[in-house]
Amino acid sequence: MNFLAHLWLAERTGTSMAGAILGDIVRGRDLSAYPAAIAEGIQLHRRVDAATDRHPLIVRTRQGFAEGQRRYAGIVLDLVCDHLLARDWARHSEEPLPAFAQRAALAQAEAGDCYRLAGAATPDVPRFAALLRSYAHSEGLEKALARTQARLRRSEGFAAAAQNWTQHTAALQPQLPELLEALRLQMLASLAGEHGAGTASAET
């Protein structure tokens, strides 16, 4: 899952939108310097990433990549999922994508102290909102893939994996709602487990 899907999941579980993005930025297990809601969002982001990698749909789709490209398949599929989510946004949310994107971008700006703590620049609100909206179009996804490739030291394998990204949309699109729902339920189960453990600890 990439930015948009993580934000959608945060919205659907009532958890931190800023934490959902900072999960890609913050390193290490010690999250004690962050506010509790942000730390929770970071932990959930990491669990969603792990659950996505293990999901049968993603495992099966990854097998469609050539052997030398599979190490990059997860990155490509994350972006493709964001594209499909944005393209069919009305199926997944009653709130228009531009409004959601603006609200998500403002949540990042409000967490500027946490971004600085992580050693990262706070996302620019108009630019971040535009990025989320751009995933709805093939051109936007192509640019996202190009940006990702530019950040990689050895980008040839990624370029090969990303070249035919449209071939994977047919496999992912019909089952994307099922994947998103499975991840949402897993997040809720994680939250229930943590809160239950906290209650048990307090009672002890």
User: Is the pLDDT assigned to residue 204 strictly greater than 50?
Assistant: no
pLDDT in tens, 180-198: 999 999 999 999 887 665 5
Number of structural domains, the chain?
A: 1
Q: Is residue 198 part of a domain?
A: no
Q: Is residue 197 part of a domain?
A: no
Q: Kindly indicate the confidence band of residue 70, based on its pLDDT and cuts at 50, 70 and 90.
A: confident
Structure tokens at 34: 């962050």
pLDDT in tens, 90-127: 999 999 999 999 999 999 999 999 999 999 999 999 99
What is the per-residue DSSP string for 70-127?
Answer: HHHHHHHHHHHHHHHHHHTHHHH-SS-HHHHHHHHHHHHHHTHHHHHHTT-PPPPHHH
DSSP 198: H
Q: What is the pLDDT of residue 90?
A: 96
Helix, strand and coil content of the chain, in percent to the nearest 5, comes to 80, 0, 20
Q: What is the pLDDT of residue 156?
A: 86
Q: Is residue 124 part of a domain?
A: yes
How many whole angstroms separate alpha carbon 159 and alpha carbon 148?
10
Q: Is residue 204 part of a domain?
A: no
37-46, 156-165, 178-187: segment of lowest average pLDDT: 156-165
Range of the domain at 126: 3-189
